[in-house]
Amino acid sequence: MKKIIVTAIIILLSVTGFSFIIHPKADEPVPYPEGFRKWTHIKTGLIGPNSPAFKSTGGFHHIYANDKAMQGYTSGYFPQGSVVVFDVIDGVEADGSTIEGKRNHVDVMMKDSLRYANTGGWGYEEFKGSSKTERMLTETVRTACFNCHTKQADHIFSELRD
């Protein structure tokens, strides 16, 4: 009898309680990428005042990748669990040099084909300033991110610099 009860509990948990492990919630929000500045630095760009993009995204654009995303940068295929971070920091002129100012926003792409099936297997998010909780993307903007990124191989614009 005890064996039957234990078996029934295991079956019940596997069907209901642990189903989130097998079938994650679709379109679940992309989490803030804790510790991303310790990941591999892919490259940095600088959008200056003469660029048409300066008003919205001027400053330093640092790109970081977790270990799984690094596999994608070297092979061309980004495996499940890849996370790429686009860290946008204002550029400030000081004594003839451009230095980092405050963080403008952090964009995150996370590959999970089950969670983000509606956006090509990639989840998109943008966090305001240095906030780990204040999200900036609306569904309309998220769809625009997806539509633009689909033009790239496996949705990634950046390339690993030698």
pTM for the complete prediction?
0.81
| Mean pLDDT on 21-29 | 62
Q: What length is written for the chain?
A: 162
- pLDDT band for position 4 (cuts 50, 70, 90): low
Tell me whether strands 59-65 and 97-111 are parallel, antiparallel or unpaired: unpaired
Domain boundaries, the chain: 25-155
Please tell me the CATH code under which domain 25-155 is placed: 3.50.70.20
Q: Is the predicted pLDDT of residue 108 greater than 50, yes or no?
A: yes
The separation between the first and the last C-alpha atoms of the chain, rounded to the nearest angstrom, is 65
Rounded CA separation 70/42 (Å): 9
When computed from its CA atoms, the radius of gyration of the chain, rounded to whole angstroms, is 20
Residue-by-residue DSSP string for 96-144: TEEEEEEEEEEEEEEE-TTTTGGGTTEEEEEEETT-SS-B---HHHHHH
pLDDT in tens, 32-61: 999 999 999 999 999 998 999 888 889 999
